Amino acid sequence: MSLTNEIVQQTLSQEFTPKVENFHIEHDMLAFEVKKEASFEVINFLKENPEMNFNFLTDVCGIHYPDYEKERQFCVVYHLHNWYDNVRVRIKVFLPADNPEIESIVSLFAAANWQERETYDFYGIIFKNHPQLKRILNMDEMKSFPLRKEFPLEDQGRTDKDDRFFGRTGPNC
């Protein structure tokens, strides 16, 4: 019998509750949350278990939720894909604001290497045991993490723009 979202949900709940929770289907994709201590375990299970067989890591990215509670400010999202049964799954791992650390999955999927570096570059999320966790897209000397919500989009050091002509006031930029 081929894999379906229900089977994935059932198997994961059986194996890993209470570390996995909040299963829901969004636009035909099963999405759930995993506690940060168990993220490597769960992804390893999804990859190695012969029934689950999620052989492809589609995407790793980060999100910053400044409005959530302090324990859930950062989120790392993994998209996995099982090519044989054509099932996709989205795993969200919430991280606290003061210590956004998570285990790296480079040993499982080599594709995660640069994607985790990009997430570190943009959000400052530390991936433990990553072979080379340094900035990738921004300049190496940069101190701040630009995709956090408090970081402004535009270069604040510019003197040649007159904001009056752009209808810009402080919070508008």
Partner 1 sequence: MSNSSNIKQVAPPAGYAGEGFFATKLSEVVGLARANSMWPLPFATSCCGIEYMATMAATYDIGRFGSERMSFSPRQADMLLVMGTIAKKMAPILRQVYEQMAEPKWVVAVGACASTGGVFDTYSVLQGIDKVIPVDVYVPGCPPRPEQILDGILELQEIVKNESVRRRSSQEYKDLLNSYNIK
Partner 2 sequence: MSDLLLVPEKRFEKQIKETKEKDGIELSILNLGPTHPATHGIFQNILLMDGEKIIDGEATVGYIHRAFEKIAENRPFYQINVLTDRLNYCSSPINNTGWWMTVEKALGIEIPKRVQYMRVIIMELARIADHIICSSVMGVDTGALTGFLYVMQYREKIYEIYEEICGARLTTNMGRIGGFERDWSEAAWRKLDEFLEEFPSVWKEFEDLLARNRIFMDRTIGAGAISAEKAINYGFTGPNLRAAGVDYDIRVQNPYCSYEDFEFEIPVGQSGDCYDRFCVRNAEVWESMKIIRQALDKLPAEGGYHADVPDYYLPPKEDVYNNMEALIYHFKIVMGEIPVPNTEVYHAVEGGNGELGFYLITNGSRVPYRLHFRRPCFIYYQAFNEIVKGRSLSDAIITLSSLNVIAGELDC
Do 126 and 101 contact (CB within 8 A), yes or no?
yes
Site membership for partner 1, residue 169 (CB under 8 A) = no
Q: Cβ of residue 147: shortest distance to partner 1, in angstroms?
A: 11
Q: Which of 56, 66, 68, 166 binds partner 2 (CB under 8 A)?
A: 56
DSSP type of residue 72: G
What is the pattern of x (binds partner 1, CB under 8 A) and - over residues 126-165? ------------xx------x----xxxxxx-x-x-----
What is the pattern of x (binds partner 2, CB under 8 A) and - over residues 23-42? ---xx-x-x-----------
Do 130 and 104 contact (CB within 8 A), yes or no?
yes
Residue found by looking up tokens 């198997």 in the block: 11
Going through the chain in order, the beta strands assigned E by DSSP cover 20-26, 29-34, 56-64, 74-82, 87-95, 101-103, 126-128
Of 9 and 138, CB closest to partner 1: 138
Q: Cβ of residue 138: shortest distance to partner 2, in angstroms?
A: 6
